[in-house]
A and B are shown apart, each in its own frame.
Chain A
Amino acid sequence: MADTDTTTSGTGPATSGTATSGGRAADGRGRRAVRVGVSAALTAAVVLAVLVVPLLFPLDRQAVDLAAKLQPPSLTHPFGTDEVGRDLLLRCVYGLRVSLLVGVVAALAATVIGTAVGALAGALGGWADRAVMRVVDLFSSVPHLLLGIFIVAMFRPGVWPVIISVALTHWLSTARIVRAEVLSLRSRPYIDAAVSGGASRWRVTVRHLLPGVLPQAGLAAVLMVPHAIWHESALSFLGLGLPAHEASLGIMVNAARGSLLAGDWWPTLFPGVFIIVPTLAIAGLAGAWRERINPRRRSELML
């Protein structure tokens, strides 16, 4: 889950198109359409499951069925049951709900900070820009998870410390993207027109620059959600995340360590799958979005 900007010219027609026949190119386009379709379907399924399942199957946290504990996956329990006999599929959906909620809130917070800082740096320019970018460099020289661990440890585990720690560590990439975009927009003629029309610096920033960077910031926000989920799961797994009753996916993996050492793999496997699948689905959708914003840069998935 690196913040790498793998801006690749991929399997698609952009680079290989010159060298290969039209058939390969069409093939690549078809595969891309399939990828977007599958990603969209998976994302819709995840969102629907997270929203609808709690309405249909309310989770009784106290319900313990020791007779049915640690059953392997079967028809009645597709994912098996955990160490006190609760259905793992239902628990995974609830865990994803917690993780997704924390992830979305944290990603939004990170994007708002990043957009504000990036737009400020880009719009002010000069020494303010240099100072802000120094701060960005400073933050990026501390490993994200370590800074997150430090913040959560100092403010005792809970939902808000986790969200704050994710927001404080993940705004950097958005700030860089927004700043670069603002810098490139600043030299456009319509900005000059607005300035010579007497618009104030504030008005130029809010009315002319920000709308131009919103698509990029939105894309960054969407890509941030899987990062935030990943970060939250790691913190929760280390015991520095959400409280144990907010059973997120990371907490479920941590709680299943005992059963795993007894040889029961399913309480560990399925929560992890529930982290991977939404991540890939969101990355697939974000890739399509990026190609719409920036059609000249054919890109592959970016996590």
Chain B
Amino acid sequence: MSALTSLPWGPMARMTGRRVLLAVPVLLAVTLGVFAIAAASPFDPVRAYAGTAGLTASQENLDQLRHNLGVDQPLLARWWHWLTGALTGDLGDSATLRAPVSQVIGERIGWSALLCALAFVIAIAVGTLLGVLAARRRGGLLDRAVTSVAYALEAAPPFWLGLLAVWLFALKLGVLPAGGLTDTGSEVATAGQIARHVVLPALVLAVSQLPWFVLYVRQGVGDALAEDPVRGARARGLRERTVLLQHALRSGLLPVLTLIGSRVPELITGALLVETVFSWPGIAAATVEAATSVDFPLLAALTVLATAAVLAGNLLSDLLYGLADPRVAFDG
């Protein structure tokens, strides 16, 4: 318990508060930018809403519809209307999924969080292991093999990796399902089914994030192995394991752990592609659906949500950095 009470809660809370205040203008600017792009686009929400009926509808009907949808108002008025609605939890209705946007997000965000959290844990664990193994003997056979594979994987598009994984594991070996959340035909989602279905997408997402972790851990631990404390520990005749785990890993891993929060944008990018490949019912797949059918309310809400996630990740990063390195103050 003493570890918990000795944490600098006060400065951390102050920093969080400052960041939340700073996030408000950023989120406002992003929402305004989203509305500005929509206003500049040639896309007409009225015709999209009316569908084929819009081709035969009279001009009065179209104008009435335009008024009902609130599209005839100027940009700032629409933005303000959306913003005040958003604060009360009303984000508008999604035309493609035929449900309120807040309900769509509420139903799907859990699945995305599950997938991303699993992938992140796998990537950190495997990345640390491979990075340390590679750093132990730089320029060795294992190091060269791991770094080459890491570079190749970093260049590979996640959707391509996902498709090849589907081919290998679902079609050739037939050990894992190719996509979705449950088996076709089954109505209820049991934990066992979900566990089987989450394996492949989570692995592919983890593999797409893995190169960064491997290369950073390798560099951090490798540099730490060349530092004086490690040389001193070796000179005192400590076991190699103790040197590696207690000295090199501890100081080499810190910069990596603190940068974890800044990986949120890449994680979102990966999730957008992986969820689409595996028809995973998360919000990233919903984003792509919303984009292909120009579902503006859903797309706007999800863009703002992703921005908030990135800002939260940055905050986490800085908090961890302040905790890990006492020389860094919580001011920023």
Contacts and interface: CB of A to CB of B under 8 A. Distances in A.
Interface of A: 1-2, 4, 6, 8-11, 15-16, 19, 24, 27-28, 137-138, 140-147, 149-156, 226, 230, 233-234, 237-240, 250, 253, 257, 260-261, 263, 265, 268-269, 271-272, 275-276, 279-280, 283, 300-301, 303
Contacts of A142: 30, 303, 306-307, 310
A146 B268 contact: yes
A7 to B, nearest CB: 9
A152 B292 CA distance: 9
A279 B273 contact: no
A156 B48 CA distance: 13
B154 interface: yes
Interface in B155-173: 155-157, 159-160, 163-164, 166-167, 171-172
B155 A226 contact: yes
A145 B139 contact: no
B306 A146 contact: yes
Contacts of A156: 42-43
Contact of B163 (A145, A257, A300, A301): A257
Contact of B154 (A1, A10, A152): A1
Given A147-B303, A260-B171, 16 more contacts: A4-B212, A4-B216, A9-B223, A141-B314, A143-B265, A145-B268, A149-B291, A226-B155, A237-B157, A238-B291, A260-B163, A263-B171, A268-B163, A272-B157, A280-B155, A303-B154
A155 B139 CA distance: 49
A85 B310 CA distance: 45
Interface stretch (B33-41, B98-106, B324-332): B33-41
A283 B211 CA distance: 15
B226 A15 contact: yes
B49 interface: no
A150 B212 contact: no
Nearest to A135: B29
A152 B291 contact: yes
A249 B274 CA distance: 18
B80 interface: no
Contacts of A275: 155-157, 160
Contacts of B166: 260-261
Contacts of A263: 167, 171-172
A144 B151 contact: no
A173 to B, nearest CB: 13
Contacts of A154: 37-38, 40-41, 43, 294, 296
Contacts of A141: 26, 30, 307, 310-311, 314
B250 interface: no
A253 B288 contact: no
A260 to B, nearest CB: 6
Contact of B269 (A144, A233, A250): A144
B199 to A, nearest CB: 19
B55 interface: no
Nearest to B158: A234
Contacts of A146: 268-269, 272, 287, 302-303, 306
SS class, residues of chain B in contact with chain A: helix
Most buried by A among B166, B167, B212, B291: B291
A269 B157 CA distance: 11
Interface of B: 26, 29-30, 34, 37-38, 40-43, 138-139, 143, 147, 151-152, 154-157, 159-160, 163-164, 166-167, 171-172, 178, 212, 215-216, 219, 223, 226, 263-266, 268-269, 272-273, 276, 287-288, 290-292, 294, 296, 299, 302-303, 306-307, 310-311, 314
Contacts of A8: 215, 219
A138 B215 contact: no
Given A234-B159, A240-B292, A275-B157, A155 B42 contact: yes
B151 A301 contact: yes
A137 B22 CA distance: 12
A137 B230 CA distance: 38
A28 B144 CA distance: 12
A283 B151 contact: yes
Contacts of B167: 260, 263, 265, 268
Contact of A150 (B37, B171, B172, B263): B37
Contacts of B302: 146
A28 B37 contact: no
Closest 10 CB pairs of A and B: A153-B291, A272-B160, A154-B41, A279-B155, A143-B265, A145-B269, A143-B268, A11-B139, A276-B155, A149-B291
Nearest to A271: B160
A144 B266 CA distance: 9
A268 B168 CA distance: 12
Contacts of B269: 143-146, 234
Q: Which residue, of B38, B43, B266, B294, has the highest number of chain A Cβ atoms within 10 A? A: B266
B223 A15 contact: yes
B307 to A, nearest CB: 5
Given A261-B171, A263-B171, A272-B160, A149 B223 contact: no
Given A149-B287, A150-B37, A280 B152 contact: yes
Contact of B139 (A28, A149, A238, A271): A28
B224 to A, nearest CB: 12
Contacts of B314: 141
A8 B287 CA distance: 36
Nearest to B288: A238
28 contacts: A1-B155, A2-B263, A4-B216, A8-B215, A8-B219, A11-B139, A143-B272, A143-B306, A144-B265, A144-B269, A145-B268, A150-B37, A150-B291, A151-B37, A154-B294, A155-B43, A156-B43, A234-B159, A238-B272, A238-B276, A268-B163, A268-B164, A272-B157, A272-B164, A276-B156, A280-B152, A280-B155, A303-B155
